[in-house]
Amino acid sequence: MRFWYIYVLRSQKDHMFYIGSTNDLERRVQQHQRGENISTAKRLPIELIYFEGHVSKEDALRREKYFKTTKGKVTLRQMIRSTLK
């Protein structure tokens, strides 16, 4: 069974989040760390601070979309508040 992942990266440079989804989390994080993603390349170094897995791609994309809303960002920050300290 292959999972789809929602992941949250935090830039150590500006402390901003990047929220994405993938079916190969390790590969995708490595791509970000090598500067291969235009959205994070100028914000390196980055760190993976949260991820969750879903069996359905549609469920993962729905969750990613939610985390990108204002309410979703509030929920995410509440979920990982200890990590953000």
**16 Cβ contact list (under 8 Å, min separation 6):** 10, 43
pTM over 0.85: yes
pLDDT, one tens digit per residue, over 10-52 is 999 999 999 999 999 999 999 999 999 999 999 999 999 999 9
User: Quick one: CATH architecture of 4-84?
Assistant: 3-Layer(aba) Sandwich (3.40)
How do the domains of the chain map onto residue ranges?
A: 4-84
Could you tell me the two tokens for 31? 């791509």
